[in-house]
Structure 1
Amino acid sequence: MSQRAVSVGVIANPSSGRDLRRLLSWASVFPTGEKVNVVLRLISAMGSLGVSEVWMLPDSAGIAARVRDTAAIGRAQRNLALPRVRLLDMRVRDCAQDSAEAAAQMVRQGVGLIAVLGGDGTHRAVASTCARVPLLALSTGTNNAFPEMREATTAGMAAALIATGKVDEAIGLRANKRLRITGARVDEFALVDVCLSRQLATGARAVWRGEDLVEVCTSFGEPNAIGLSAIAALACPVSRDDPFGAHVRFGPGRTLMAPLLPGTMQQVSIASARRFSPNEPLWLTPAAGTIAIDGEREIELDGQERLRVELDLLGPRTVAVARTLEYAARQGLLFDLPNPAGCA
């Protein structure tokens, strides 16, 4: 009886790690060549642990094509255990919709999970169409909170253990929160934060001036973060697993020093900071300005519209890399003969 072919998706955003914040701070640049190398390390680990096929988003930078060709050479000339790489048949527009459309196609192809290389915005786009297919979240953007910086090899190991069923989803996946923003003409969601800013136009989209901030809601905020969620994290820390979020209003009060950009500390005045629960909708202050979703200005406001923010537990499921690998090690799953008794 033949073994079931294991297929995964990989979405690598060619634009992540290249935004305006590189002009405003000392944020790292993530070049195309390095993204190619990251994907190759990722799928090499996956192939060694049973993944046979990878679907990729075609991109104008040529990341997917280079990965496909390099993997084919590695299989043919070096007998490497690299999966067969296939490119989706889709028109690329160099926008967030590419990632959303690619994720939807990958779901229809029956992938076991989708690895995402990008920032918070890329992950939000993928989460909008991935349904219940889990994500492997890898950071290649700026000020990221949702995806984590990880070595692609070990991340690929964990992803393969989930995709092949060697580690049960109940053990290896994390449930995530999200924020939903609704109004008369708005129905969006954020994975990490929603911020009301006094900046009147979406412009370059980044939010970098503390004096422009009116209020911010976060699904989680961890003190080692950078960006808008870092403010909430330092004023009212909330973990990914806590069943509540944080709400911060800016104004006269205590002054907080926070890292809004890589290498850039700013003072912000905190009027109030508190937790809020999933059954507690928040009404944002009516004000002319913009709403930033996951760190980028998306919606322009005239000061009349009332927007509501609610926390729910319907965010995408993600691979808990450390937990998955720890379980695999304790169960001896990477030995040729597994030994659940461990190293007695």
Structure 2
Amino acid sequence: MIGEVKSEVRGSSRLSVAPMMDWTDRHCRMLHRQLSAHALLYTEMVTAPALVRGGAVHLLEHDPREAPVALQLGGSDPGELAEAARLGAEAGYAEINLNCGCPSDRVQSGCFGAVLMERSALVADCVAAMIAKVPRGVPVTVKCRIGVDDQAPEEVLPDFLSRIRAAGVDRVQIHARKAWLQGLSPKENRDIPPLDYDLVVAMKTAYPDLHISLNGGIQSLDEAESLLARGIDGVMVGRAAYQRPFDILAEADARIFGAPTRRRAPAEVVAAMEPYFADHLARGGRLHQVTRHMLGLFAGRPGARGWRRVLSERAHRPDAGLDVLRAALAETEGAAVA
């Protein structure tokens, strides 16, 4: 059974949605799961100190219906990361991922994220400790950049991959940009450093036993299919999947996974989410906590502006309920008729 789980997660990583702070929470993942049954979804980054020292195990809460879902951890202490990985595996996550790519000031000050590209030996110690602490069927993976600051990616990336592979990692997600820890903001680091897909493809050739997913700048399923055709094992889509979820995920099961599934219209996705909304509201949740992730569901389609307007103006109100959701949906239906 454990081996089957590991194989299933590896297959799902053919297309994944990147971990994104403030975006890929459990509500976002539930929406994405309505669109694709097979794509691998990731949590926001959860720091190991928060789990181990702060006891914030509520950060691990998720719905079994999100599966397969991976937990991304941030940290740089092998012992803390190992304990956090154990907690994540016990909570039912199908994969534990170590963040070696986030360039924000907050993670730099904590000595984790992209700054770990400069500490490959420490990363190897961290993942070895994590692997030793989780069940054998739960993979420990690494998400990294191709380098940081003045590093030469063609030199540092092979060394980094060699070290984590020797420590037991067999899957890695590579954001095909450098991170500039000095001089660029986190937002600028997502756009300004040039993409180097060729280097990531070359790493797959150099390390054929590593399962390599490519992340960074992917805007469509056409681009994803093109990269997979070059020999990459998987593609990881970030902002495009969040801002235009229907465009990226609605056809993913058929086109990326070859699954014979019926494509839902955006309105059908909203209807499928209604029981989730009802349960969330019954538990004391607020409508906008879920709808904020759905603003782009109708992007590029009739009524998209009305959909966004109704949700933006009314979903945050304390008494907002399913009537607001239905009013927003009515904007799309009226536009389609017109």
TM over 0.5: no
The structure with the larger Rg is 1
- Identify, as 1 or 2, the structure richer in helix: 2
- Identify, as 1 or 2, the structure richer in strand: 1
TM-score of the two chains, using structure 2 as the length reference: 0.28
Name the structure, 1 or 2, with higher relative contact order (CA <8 Å, separation 6+).
1
